[in-house]
Structure 1
Amino acid sequence: MIYNQNKVEILRQRYPEGTRICVDSMDDYCPIESGTCCTVEFVDDAGTLHCKFDNGRTLGVIPDVDKFHKIDQEQTQTDEQTEEITETEDIEESEEMNISM
């Protein structure tokens, strides 16, 4: 699907570089699994969101064709903080095990 320049500019404002999105469903010959998240790298002149997925793939997401939702930045930050806490706990636990051995 190709959009007019006005629609493309709206998409670029709504999904600037670094925006996190999550795929709900994708109708493609080799689709990204539902629930997979990615980071928008850029929006091209046709309105396709070019993304780098957390699973290492890169693929264009097409608004109004693919189903996806924007991930709230606060949610992303909370998830990252939770990961950091878990990693810190894992490191501390590992260090305690090394000390006790």
Structure 2
Amino acid sequence: MRIRLRKGDRIRLVSMPHDPDPIPVGTLGTVIAIHEHQDWAQVEVDWDNGRSLMLTMPDDCVAIIEPNHQEPSK
């Protein structure tokens, strides 16, 4: 994985290039589980938009939201 994710991390999707119906870029979510394999990982995310689609790392790209960074209210 390019970045080290941990359960509970808040993330923002940067890209999901190989999925035919990807989560929209910029969507926020919370990491709920990480399933590590030899040289890749599946990351379960509780997406804020309600979708349920795992990340495949390192193909998919996310940014960790810093704990002190607050998202604007909607």
Structure 1 residues not aligned, in runs of 5+: 1-6, 87-101
Measure the CA separation in 1 of the matches of 2:26 and 2:36. Answer: 27
Per-residue deviation, residues 17-76 of structure 1 (Å, max 9, x unmatched): 21111111112011001100110000013321110100001111122201211111110x
Measure the CA separation in 1 of the matches of 2:8 and 2:61. Answer: 19
Measure the CA separation in 2 of the matches of 1:50 and 1:42. Answer: 5
Measure the CA separation in 1 of the matches of 2:67 and 2:61. Answer: 19
List structure 1 segments (4+ residues) > 2 angstroms apart after TM superposition.
none
* Number of residue pairs matched by the alignment: 69
Query: Partner of 2:66 in structure 1?
Result: 72
Larger strand percent: 2
Larger radius of gyration: 1
Measure the CA separation in 2 of the matches of 1:58 and 1:74. Answer: 26
TM-score using structure 2 length: 0.77
Larger helix percent: 1
Structure 2 residues not aligned, in runs of 5+: none
TM-score using structure 1 length: 0.59
Measure the CA separation in 2 of the matches of 1:58 and 1:52. Answer: 7
**Aligned residues: percent identity?**
29
What root-mean-square deviation, in Å, do the aligned CA atoms of Structure 1 and Structure 2 show? Answer: 2.1
